[in-house]
Amino acid sequence: MTLRPDRRLRVLVIDDSALVRRAITDALAADPEIEVVGSACDAFVAREKIARLEPDVLTLDLEMPRMDGLTFLRILMRHHPLPVVVVSSLAQAGSQAALDALEAGAVDVLAKPDGTMSIGTLGERLAFHVKAAAQSVRFRQRRPEVTVTGPVTPAVAPAVRAGGRQLIVIGGSTGGIEALRTVLPRFPRGLPPIAVVQHISAAFSRAVAERLDALCSLDVREAAEGDVLRPGTCLIAPGDTHLAVEFVAGAYRARLLETPPLHHCRPAVDVLFRSAAEAGGDQVVAALLTGMGSDGALGMRAIHAAGGATIAEHESTCVVYGMPRAAIEAGAVERVLPLPTIADAIIDAVVHRSRRERHG
């Protein structure tokens, strides 16, 4: 799907509450690049309006009468795939539904704030996610099918020296949760510590970490202030909190920061990447995955300047080719690779640095 430059982005709002439909419509209408072409109270009304109005993006609640949103999403992706941003209180309440929606094909999931009219507080954030969904590559060209069913152990497990400064940092945004489900399960436990910033709601960052932990041989968990990053561990930035690292007494430690958003994002990839460049220098291996915007480009450039390894996801497998492209255009990326090969490239970079360290 390619939008014509002479028209605004067409959005259909699907929610069983008339007040919520009005609030979402008002929030999106404030953006001059978006036109809300209609709304629907359930999946059956939505089906008719999709055919008649030809929207570019849908917003979708998961709790609806006659047919729940998740069932509708699965049917939609099978028969008439469109970019979908889920806006649901279920994402806030339990998070399992949010992850199920992403796996079913939603581009992004936002937790509906408490209170009907507080939807309006999503404001620019909601518009940002809707515009990111519209840029989704998956609805414009066929992407390689990548299925992860359980832990995958690569053939090479590099030796990691205790107390060494090797560190892996990964950043992503729109589509990044599913990308992490491809990359992380391929890692063996012997890798250096890993820190991840994924643009994510505070409502389900812990659930994402738990889901990834179940798929991986690594110990994956949500980061806490002062956590020691050890080999074989992967810390995920909590939603709405920046994650940085520092090297103290022979080990990396996590720092959680409540400083203002960067690039309208908190957590921001640049905060993690810049701290990694300062703490680890040429011992850092960084990967930037799918996402809208430019977050991560400046941090990637800092890592590149310090001699670290830098990898970006190729446009062909990105859900949204924004963040990787910004880093590439900044001259900060050594290797540009499709998603299924990124894990092996990270391992290769770690092995190379381990050998270089051993042989001086």
The CATH number of whichever domain residue 320 belongs to comes to 3.40.50.180
pLDDT at 339: 95
Residue 2 lies in a domain: no
pLDDT at 276: 98
Report the predicted TM-score, pTM, of the whole model to 2 decimal places: 0.85
Q: Do both 186 and 327 map to the same domain? A: yes
Range of the domain at 63: 9-134
pLDDT at 273: 98
Let me know if 199 is a catalytic residue: yes
Let me know if 6 is a catalytic residue: no
Q: Do both 214 and 294 map to the same domain? A: yes
- Spans in the chain with pLDDT lower than 70: 1-6, 90-95, 113-123, 140-163, 357-360
Q: Do both 249 and 330 map to the same domain? A: yes
For residue 17, what is the domain's CATH number?
Answer: 3.40.50.2300
Q: Do both 192 and 113 map to the same domain? A: no
Catalytic annotation, pick one of 108, 129, 199, 304: 199
Q: Do both 196 and 293 map to the same domain? A: yes
Q: Do both 16 and 94 map to the same domain? A: yes
Q: Do both 348 and 217 map to the same domain? A: yes
Residue 259 lies in a domain: yes
pLDDT at 6: 54
Counting the structural domains of the chain, the total is 2
Catalytic annotation, pick one of 88, 95, 136, 173: 173
Catalytic annotation, pick one of 56, 61, 295, 348: 295
Q: Do both 172 and 120 map to the same domain? A: no
pLDDT at 143: 45
Q: Do both 101 and 182 map to the same domain? A: no
Q: Do both 215 and 349 map to the same domain? A: yes
Let me know if 359 is a catalytic residue: no
Summarised one tens digit per residue, pLDDT across range 260-314 is 999 888 999 999 999 999 999 999 999 999 999 999 999 999 999 999 999 999 9
Residue 23 lies in a domain: yes
Question: Which residues, including other chains, have CB under 8 Å from residue 321's CB and lie 6 or more apart?
Answer: 135, 137, 290, 315
pLDDT at 357: 65
Q: Which of 182, 192, 308 is nearest to 252 (CA)?
A: 192
Q: Do both 129 and 198 map to the same domain? A: no
